[in-house]
Amino acid sequence: MSMIKKGTKLYSIIKSKCPHCQEGSFFEGSMFKGTPKQKCDVCQEPFSKEPGFYQGSYYVVYALGVAVFVTIWCSIELFIGDIGFRGDLISVIVGLILTAPFTYPLSKTIWANMFFHYNGHLKDENNELESGEGRVS
């Protein structure tokens, strides 16, 4: 049984899909641009509740940065040993720079999934998505 199945928040986060229908893409073009669409192409759910909605994702990207920092530092201490303060600092800075294109857009999908919930849309006879209850306005 897979943890990453449709209907879970983890599916929406990892696949960068709409948190509401999990069909449409969350980002304009590539995920690495980090710009969420205004609304889903499939269910027409807006991806922003208010102006400045994604400023809260800065808390998430900070937490992801701390996780990367701790992972790199612990890995160095466990596998390489003492390389000195300067070596630790350079390793962590390089690691944070290399992971930034992943953590920044990931923080936005995590933030959106905290406020938007999967609705389990079903397709009707016209192959269009039906609106369900629980829609966030």
- What are 57-114's pLDDT values in tens digits? 999 999 999 999 999 999 999 999 889 899 999 999 999 999 999 999 899 999 999 9
Q: What is the dihedral of CA 14, 17, 18, 19, to 10 degrees?
A: -20
Retrieve residue 27's tokens. 């980002």
Between CA 86 and CA 94 the distance in angstroms is: 12
Q: pLDDT tens digits for 109-122? A: 999 999 888 887 54
Number of neighbours of residue 31 by Cβ within 10 angstroms: 19
* The model's pTM: 0.76
CA distances from 115 to 89, 108, 112 (A): 36, 11, 5
Q: Which helix (H) or strand (E) holds 71?
A: helix 57-75
Cβ neighbours of residue 96 closer than 8 Å, sequence gap 6 or more: 65, 68, 69
